[in-house]
Structure 1
Amino acid sequence: MRYRTDYNPTQLNNSPQTLMIGPWRLQYLAYATHSHDSRQPVLFIGGAFQSFRSFSHEVGELLADHPVILLDLPGQGGNLQPAGELSLEDLADLIAGFISELNLPAVMPIGLSYGSALAALFACRHPGKCYRLLLSGVAAFGRPGARLLLEESLHILEQGDIKLFAQGVVSGLINPLRIEETGISPTFQKALLRQLQRLSGSDIQRYQQNSRRLLDFQGFDAHPKCPTLIIAGEYDHFTQPWEHAHFAAACADAEFAIINNADHLAQLERRPSCSQLYLPFLQGRTLPMQCAGVRRIKSHSLLQLERRQEARTPPPQAQARLRSIDGREWHAEIVELGFFGGLLRTEYTQQLPVRGWQLLLQELEPQGILLVHQSTQGAAFIFTHADARASQALAHYIRRAYAYQGLTYGRERLSPSQALSRLAGPNL
């Protein structure tokens, strides 16, 4: 491998180098402090639509101590080559082929979001080529609710409603109920929404291929054996902290930490907090026990992490209606309600379809829902949050319910008057 030694963040906009492995095109940029650096390189494997520009800050931080390679596999990032026939395992094997073709030493992958599944699979299938591993947003997609939302996004795309699709994706990546804590600006949200609304035909094809690849994935039958660091955003409801913790518990040598006041985009929202962990980890140093904005979870507690991120309680008004896609309505009783879902009972006596429902709650606009499972206790459902206005109205409704019942808001326990004072606004 011959590295470039003239790194400047603006170069991440340049055309990447190309390596062909059979019919597959891999694109990459490689930097180091000297051109023939023999140290273990850091290998960035980003989310499905993350460009190399997303990592300009991290590359600048790491170059003093490590060579850095940014890699786009077929159909990922800026690599536009369609690859619908490739599985996650196939893509992980292409990473190994890349390392072999360029005669690299064992690498240190940083896998984020969709890239975390690829990086983890690579580490499992090719342990001799993986020196250390850092994961965030572990996308194993074993949780039924996550799978349903991904399937729903594909269904909306097939219907041709790009606006609903874009809003649903944004609501998955950015926790709408925790904007105050995560500090994500409206400007960033709008920019992300516009980007998704303007996806080209080839971009939509790539999203469909990537999503189906995740849905086809049967799960990990082995876990990484190398030193592994896993970080999760405290309010990540897309790939939840407890899922990260369970993955860490299955690894041979893993450490796990939660980044406070962050969600799925933790490395963007709380860069200094993340840097306190990944810089010493990649250098092989012991992680600091106390880090500002970080909560370390000990190994014996990994499987005890709370699974439910929000309180689910009876709503102020339990009576509701369930509307089907053909306009028919049935009486429903809300047993539990939260911002992301709840439990209802209905007079409908047959098994309910999963898709095609709206929940009509007093004071609120119709809310799109998907039914996760049904039992004698009722039907568990999740909100799709594909309608921004309806989602915002639900957020205010839920926050009022929190306030009146004195439930936990963030990590504080507030009295009703304290919670109401924080929520004062035109929609209360």
Structure 2
Amino acid sequence: MASAEVSMEKIGGRTLRVARWRLDMPSDHLPVLFFNGIGANIEAVAPLAEALSDRGFIMFDMPGIGKSPDPVVPYNTATMAWTAAKVLDRFGLEEVDVMGISWGGGLAQHFAIQHPRRTRRLVLVATSAGMLMIPGNPAALTKMANPRRYVDADYMAQHFETLYGGALGDASGKGGHMARLSPPSPRGYMYQLIAMLGWTSAPALPFMKKDTLILMGDEDQIVPLLNGKFLNMLIPNSELVVMEGGGHLFLLSHKDQSVAAIRSFLDPEESPSGRVERKRAA
């Protein structure tokens, strides 16, 4: 996070903690607007922002998450997509590439549907179409819904493999990720859960013409691979790349492969093939 500019911003009646990387750096690439997973703070995705070092990157803590103050009233995908657009306005960003992981992948879809003129390309990571998702391992989902994983390090360590798969290997990988997490407030976590109740992108996706990269792990216990295949079927201009052996955190366990796939998709003119191939990534 040392390379990020972080500030508290009053946006659309909410105070949000916003982090920006390299927005003032000359670049041939559009910045990335990133939506995080449920309960996850900015620091959790900082390694990805730093890896995409040739472009700007912007994200914010959801209300009640990280260091953003608690929400006063509940919100939904439409109001938070509108808020995200206001964040872009604050920093003079007209068009971005949009990316989201897990819960944030749903919000990324909604943003692209609600703000098509501000979205060039879309990257969906370990996510689903919302209410119509194919459910994951019940043991993992039960623990995922418990915010104790952010508060109790022993609980997180004990259930890490059930939650995220074993691909991060030994404790050093797990420890690095856990050290970046900070607990959400109970209200913030609850309102994130409520925001997606009854929501699905499925009816709108066949009409969304944005080029879309879908990244999934074939050992994801929380959002099974079938969800990615469903998204790939619904979105006309989509491509599916599967990380073999990847759990829910394959952005960390398969960082090099993930970053390569994202770069190839966002900058096809720089890729030897001109596009991301529809294949399984090792």
TM-score (norm: length of structure 1):
0.54
Residue 95 to residue 227, structure 1, CA distance change in 2 (3 Å): same
Match in the other structure for 1:266: 250
> SS at the partner of 2:88?
helix
Residue 204 to residue 81, structure 1, CA distance change in 2 (3 Å): closer
Q: Which amino acid aligns with 1:284?
A: P
User: Percent of aligned positions with the same letter in both sequences?
Assistant: 18
Per-residue CA distance 1:182-203 (angstroms, 9 max, x = gap) = 242245557778998x94xx62
Listed as ranges, the matches of 1:52-63 within 5 Å are 52-63=42-53
Residue 119 to residue 219, structure 1, CA distance change in 2 (3 Å): closer
> SS at the partner of 1:134?
strand
Match in the other structure for 2:81: 92
Match in the other structure for 1:185: 170
Listed as ranges, the matches of 1:193-342 within 5 Å are 199=183, 203-223=185-205, 224-285=208-269, 286-287=274-275, 289=277, 294=281
Counterparts of 2:250 and 2:45, CA distance in 1: 13
> SS at the partner of 1:108?
strand
Residue 74 to residue 157, structure 1, CA distance change in 2 (3 Å): closer
> SS at the partner of 1:133?
strand
Larger radius of gyration: 1
Alpha-carbon offset, residue 26 of structure 1: 2.8
- Whether the aligned pair in 1 keeps the contact of 2:137 and 2:221 (CA below 8 Å) is no
2:118 paired residue among 129, 133, 154: 129
Match in the other structure for 1:412: none
Match in the other structure for 1:72: 61
2:132 paired residue among 124, 133, 142: 142
Alpha-carbon offset, residue 151 of structure 1: 8.2
Counterparts of 1:156 and 1:288, CA distance in 2: 36
Counterparts of 1:252 and 1:282, CA distance in 2: 17
The higher-RCO structure (CA 8 Å, 6+ apart) is: 2
Q: Which amino acid aligns with 1:247?
A: L
> SS at the partner of 1:97?
helix
> SS at the partner of 2:120?
coil
> SS at the partner of 1:111?
strand
Unaligned runs of 5+ in 2: none
- Whether the aligned pair in 1 keeps the contact of 2:232 and 2:239 (CA below 8 Å) is yes
Residue 130 to residue 61, structure 1, CA distance change in 2 (3 Å): same
- Whether the aligned pair in 2 keeps the contact of 1:27 and 1:71 (CA below 8 Å) is yes
Counterparts of 2:23 and 2:81, CA distance in 1: 28
Q: Which amino acid aligns with 1:46?
A: N
Q: Which amino acid aligns with 1:69?
A: I
Q: Which amino acid aligns with 1:10?
A: A
Match in the other structure for 1:23: 13
RMSD: 3.7
Alpha-carbon offset, residue 230 of structure 1: 0.6
Counterparts of 1:215 and 1:149, CA distance in 2: 20
Per-residue CA distance 1:369-426 (angstroms, 9 max, x = gap) = xxxxxxxxxxxxxxxxxxxxxxxxxxxxxxxxxxxxxxxxxxxxxxxxxxxxxxxxxx
- Whether the aligned pair in 1 keeps the contact of 2:137 and 2:222 (CA below 8 Å) is no
Alpha-carbon offset, residue 114 of structure 1: 1.6
Unaligned runs of 5+ in 1: 1-8, 296-428
Runs of 4+ residues over 6 Å off in structure 1: 147-151, 154-158, 162-165, 190-196
Counterparts of 1:169 and 1:261, CA distance in 2: 18
Counterparts of 1:43 and 1:77, CA distance in 2: 18
Match in the other structure for 1:311: none
> SS at the partner of 1:261?
coil
Residue 214 to residue 184, structure 1, CA distance change in 2 (3 Å): farther
